[in-house]
DNA sequence: ACCTTTTCCTAAATCGGTTTCTTGACAGCA
DNA sequence: TGCTGTCAAGAAACCGATTTAGGAAAAGGT
């Protein structure tokens, strides 16, 4: 099969350890004659030798690999995270293995097991958050991992999240100042801490302006187009329709808009809409959506940085939670409420 | 650190090989007493032992890992491929490592080297197609790989592609039958075989109806929103504007629509548009785009199947090129040409 | 001429498993 | 008693690298 270090040693007529020392470069100009070194390099090139990383890794007790566990790579949010994580990985000669949970808790647990067997050096995880004991185990073992975009509030971990509470608070405040007093919240997956924080931000903003919280205006659970469609349809059928909607997760805005247009309503004339997205354009709209733009690239980058730090110095580990602010960008999907 | 097989053996008081034999299950009810087996299983559970796959893989000469080299995971087309590849991998206990080339030839070559050092068992690649000698080398070595969505026409490889020529041929034919006689082609990356085939399909359809091929109507090179915008702007500024556009790659349709609306034109009244997409909705449009829907999931699945087959029986390898038809779905972005 | 120091390289252990070969104990049988 | 056969488990080689310790030969010093 593939050429091994032994093969090279035999060809050159030296001991494998000599070849290894020369190739590692650690003993450059030292302990090995110029002549031998040259011959080894030539032979390596000639036979196109490439070290077996499996063997190397076993010996060196490392894999240069991390695991990325996310709900779904088809969601541009996670694809973006994966992309920037990939860029950081490349810089440090790491590779990463992607696993999609589809928000199924069991899958997450199995993936973690699998990746540990493969001896990945760390994990970046957007947790399903239906159970959490397995993370406590990871902490006990001091296994490096970073939560991305979600976190647990009852124990410390490394985490990189967006400032969901304040991001939504500001967006809702903006809607209130436009005169909206019936603002609907189309929620994402309730189990997600991010979604919960967004709901809190929504309620916090209403509270600040002494507005009543109407549970009928808080609908939806799940992060699919279909889910967004149904939830929006529901909220639009209320006797007293909301005049503005905050759609608290990226892809569901598509379903929301679909429902709005199907109901014969127009944006922003009948309903103002604020979404979560980092795209310039949105389906159904020929103008920019007013939206909370999350720093997706930063999420991936910072998660890697944190993870790498833990991997490099496992002993002096102190858990950090990094909170990144989003950018609120006003588009044309929001306007003053009628009569204000 | 982690518990090893040796540790388990020591705890139980048997030789490591015994533990291995019990855990492998290959010698079930044979050669090992019920008592010992039970004790071993208990100890494994107690210490939460999980085999070191690095060591296993080294011994067994396999990694259960494949590499996926694509232009960009942010492009939903490749994300879709990655997703379905992931599903197939999971079924067979494989993992995969994603590498994004950004269509840079050098990166592709480096990634292949890196993945080979890591001893991945095979590769699924959407090649940059600016050079191809490295693929010939892979073939010489009988290294398992499958090209996805693009292929080389001057040598045989495993490949899974869409039926680009015919897909576009039919779409253009459809436009012709609607009475359009100035049909523009917004191209993707020219180096891509898929894009070339689409251009051929476009020309083939025009030829069939004895329509002249106007090079001014064939514009663009690259697969970015920005590129689509510029190319479309260019084509719309022609003295005699096209009445229909075929946008031959998925994401550039966004740039194309942007340019169209910026020019104050409307779809489909002023310009009919056919795109490549598998999404229900399209930015800028509140109605469905007429489009060529590629079987993205199938692409990933079939690529894995082909690759797996090669990995399983490397000797009886016969290269296969699988061509998958797309679905042409008529939306509301196309209509009869004026005056026809 | 003898001892020390360099120079250059080999030997062998190691990482953590798998697998083939071997062995020891005991039962069955003549 | 002695031979064969079976059952349970141990010993050791192996996968392909790295690394520590050691050792032979040449060079240098007095």
What digits encode the pLDDT tens for the residues B58-72? 999 999 999 999 999
Chain C bases near protein Cβ (<7 Å) = 7-20
Q: Which residues of B touch A254 (CB under 8 A)?
A: 280-281
pLDDT by 10s per residue, chain A, length 340: 689 999 999 999 999 999 999 998 876 656 788 888 899 999 999 999 999 999 999 999 999 999 999 999 999 999 999 999 999 999 999 999 999 999 999 999 999 999 999 999 999 999 999 999 999 999 999 999 999 999 999 999 999 999 999 999 999 999 999 999 999 999 999 999 999 999 999 999 999 999 999 999 999 998 999 999 999 999 999 999 999 999 999 999 999 999 999 999 999 999 999 999 888 889 999 899 999 999 999 999 999 999 999 999 988 889 999 999 999 999 999 999 886 6
Q: How confident is the model at residue B315 (pLDDT cuts 50, 70, 90)?
A: confident
Q: In the predicted model, what is the mean pLDDT of residues B125-154?
A: 97
Chain D bases near protein Cβ (<7 Å) = 7-21
pLDDT of the residue at A197: 98
Q: How confident is the model at residue B29 (pLDDT cuts 50, 70, 90)?
A: low
Best of B85, B118, B252 to disrupt the A interface by mutation (most A CBs within 10 Å)? B118
CA–C1' B7–D21 (A): 27
pLDDT of the residue at B30: 64
Residue B35 contacts strand D, CB under 7 A: yes
pLDDT of the residue at A30: 65
CA distance B98 to B300: 13
Omega within 30 of 0 (cis) for the link into B76: no
pLDDT of the residue at B274: 97
Distances (CA, A) of A72 to A114, B84, B131: 18, 11, 33
CA–C1' B67–D2 (A): 63
Q: Domains of chain B, with CATH numbers?
A: 5-51 (1.10.260.40), 60-162+296-325 (3.40.50.2300), 164-294 (3.40.50.2300)
Burial A314-324 (b: 16+ CB within 10 A, else e): eeeeeebebeb
Q: How many CA atoms lie within 13 A of A324 on its CB side?
A: 21
* Percent of the residues in chain B that have a pLDDT greater than 70, as a whole number: 98
Does B177 score more than 60 pLDDT?
yes
Distances (CA, A) of A332 to A61, A273, A278, A328: 55, 9, 15, 13
pLDDT of the residue at A29: 58
Residue among A331, A329, A330, A334 nearest A268 (CA): A334
Q: Which residues of A touch B63 (CB under 8 A)?
A: 54
Residue A7 neighbours by CB distance under 10 Å: 15
- Are the Cβ atoms of A82 and B97 closer than 8 angstroms? no
Classify the C-alpha dihedral A79-A84-A86-A89 as positive or negative. Answer: negative
Q: How confident is the model at residue B78 (pLDDT cuts 50, 70, 90)?
A: very high
Number of helices followed by number of strands (H, E) in chain B? 12, 12
Residue B318 contacts strand C, CB under 7 A: no
Distances (CA, A) of B107 to B62, B100, B101, B114: 25, 8, 5, 10
State how far residue B268 is from chain A, nearest Cα, in angstroms.
Answer: 14
**Closest A-chain CA to B82:** A73
Residue A140 neighbours by CB distance under 10 Å: 8
Q: How confident is the model at residue B36 (pLDDT cuts 50, 70, 90)?
A: confident
pLDDT of the residue at B340: 64
**How high does pLDDT run on average in chain B?**
95
Residue A74 contacts strand D, CB under 7 A: no
Residue B117 contacts strand D, CB under 7 A: no
Residues of A from 7 to 36 whose C-beta is within 7 A of strand C: which are they? Answer: 13-18, 21, 31-36
- Are the Cβ atoms of B58 and A54 closer than 8 angstroms? yes
What digits encode the pLDDT tens for the residues B256-303? 999 999 999 999 999 999 999 888 889 999 899 999 999 999 999 999
* DSSP 8-class letter at A211: P
Classify the C-alpha dihedral B197-B202-B203-B204 as positive or negative. Answer: positive
CA distance B17 to A181: 72
């Amino acid at each position: 099969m593939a050429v091994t270090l032994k093969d090279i040693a035999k060809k050159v007529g030296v001991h494998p350890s000599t070849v290894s020392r020369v190739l590692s470069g650690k003993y450059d100009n030292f302990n090995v004659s110029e002549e031998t070194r040259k011959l080894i390099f030539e032979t390596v090139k000639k036979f196109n030798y490439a070290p077996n990383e499996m063997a190397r890794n076993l010996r060196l007790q490392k894999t240069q690999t991390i695991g990325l566990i996310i709900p779904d790579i088809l969601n541009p949010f996670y694809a973006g995270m994966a992309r920037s994580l990939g860029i950081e990985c490349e810089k440090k000669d790491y590779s990463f293995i992607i696993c999609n949970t589809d928000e199924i808790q069991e899958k997450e647990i199995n993936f973690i097991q699998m990746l540990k067997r493969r001896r990945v050096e760390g994990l970046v995880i957007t947790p399903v958050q239906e159970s959490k004991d397995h993370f406590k185990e990871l902490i006990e073992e001091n296994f490096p991992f970073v939560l991305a975009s979600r976190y647990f509030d009852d124990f410390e971990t490394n985490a990189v999240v967006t400032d969901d509470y304040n991001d939504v608070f500001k967006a809702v405040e903006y809607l209130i100042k436009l005169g909206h007093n019936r603002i609907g919240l189309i929620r994402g997956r309730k189990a997600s801490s991010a979604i919960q924080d967004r709901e809190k931000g929504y309620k916090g903003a209403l509270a600040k302006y002494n507005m009543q919280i109407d549970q009928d205006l808080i609908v939806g659970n799940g992060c699919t187009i279909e889910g967004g469609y149904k939830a929006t349809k529901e909220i639009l059928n209320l006797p007293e329709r909301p005049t503005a909607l905050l759609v608290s997760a990226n892809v569901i805005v598509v379903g929301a808009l679909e429902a709005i247009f199907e109901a014969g309503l127009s944006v922003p004339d009948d309903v103002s809409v604020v979404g979560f997205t980092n795209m310039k354009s949105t389906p159904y709209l020929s103008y920019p959506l007013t939206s909370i733009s999350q720093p997706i690239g930063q999420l991936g980058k910072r998660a890697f940085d944190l993870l790498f730090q833990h991997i490099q110095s496992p002993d002096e580990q102190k858990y950090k939670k990094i909170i990144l602010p989003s950018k609120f960008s006003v588009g044309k999907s929001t306007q003053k409420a009628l009569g204000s």
